[in-house]
Amino acid sequence: MSSERRSAPSLGVGPYERTYVGIDVGEKTLAAVAPAGTPGEAVEVGAEGRIRGYWNHLRKTTQLLSETPGVPANAEAAVLASEWRRMREHLEEVIDDVLDVVEQHPHPILVREEFNSSPTAAWCHRHSRELGGWLIPTLIEAIDQEAAARGVDVVGVEPDWSSQVCHRCLERGRLERETFRCQNESCGVDYLDRDVNAALVLADRGRYGHRRRFREVNR
């Protein structure tokens, strides 16, 4: 007797079925949020570039103050305090929105890149053009804290190649500015936003176990 496996009726997921929701954090779009296997549901949060604007203002102003004779030593700190307040308010909004999107999925597990270094204070980076060194660990830690406050599980996965491989076929594709293009003709993915693709790759590694998938990518 042969048995045929049928698709479950669409009544939502069962009690033990979890939704792996990938988060790709970056400077351009602060967070791309996408559940594994469903590229159409991706949401991008914090894409207006406001943090970059605040950061540039902070960098240029503190630089100027540090080069100007006679400026009191605490002037840079005052600028940082004012810019940091604006950055923190924006980041709090973004992180709230990210967790709202994650919680729209049934029994979610938030999947983000594994990060080994702790965030350092914005003060240490204030003269640097490179925003990501401060922003990415700061965002990831804040997302973890908000997830913990809301009781959402978090899993960290290997981030290597997550921007370069196609979320569906795992072949290495081409990055063209803000777009990822899959070059595997039998795949079916033509092109999509690069951050959304990366979020889907991370979600997939959370769902299937990133070690197995990572070895497949590098075979």
Between 91 and 196, whose beta carbon lies closer to Zn ion?
196
**Nearest distance, CB of residue 168 and Zn ion, angstroms:** 5
- Report the residue from 169, 179, 191, 214 that binds Zn ion according to the rule CB under 5 A: 169
Assigned token pair, 82: 């004012």
**Residue 126, CA distances (Å) to 50, 58, 59 in order:** 16, 7, 5
Between 61 and 184, whose beta carbon lies closer to Zn ion?
184
Q: Which among 77-85, 123-131, 132-140, 184-192 is the span making contact with Zn ion, rule CB under 5 A?
A: 184-192
- Report the residue from 88, 90, 107, 168 that binds Zn ion according to the rule CB under 5 A: 168
**Nearest distance, CB of residue 186 and Zn ion, angstroms:** 8
**Nearest distance, CB of residue 102 and Zn ion, angstroms:** 25
- CA–CA dist 165, 23 (Å, integer): 16
Between 88 and 168, whose beta carbon lies closer to Zn ion?
168
Alpha-carbon torsion (193, 56, 159, 110), positive or negative: negative
Helix 75-103 × helix 50-67 angle, to 10°: 170
- Report the residue from 61, 104, 164, 184 that binds Zn ion according to the rule CB under 5 A: 184
Find out whether 135 and 28 touch, Cβ atoms under 8 Å.
Answer: no
**Number of neighbours of residue 186 by Cβ within 10 angstroms:** 6
Between 55 and 180, whose beta carbon lies closer to Zn ion?
180
**Nearest distance, CB of residue 170 and Zn ion, angstroms:** 7
3-state helix, strand, coil in the chain (%, to 5): 45, 15, 40
Between 32 and 139, whose beta carbon lies closer to Zn ion?
32
Contacts of 64 (CB under 8 A, 6+ apart): none
Between 65 and 169, whose beta carbon lies closer to Zn ion?
169
Decide: is 181 part of the binding site for Zn ion (CB under 5 A): no
Interface ranges with Zn ion (CB under 5 A): 166, 168-169, 182, 184, 187, 189
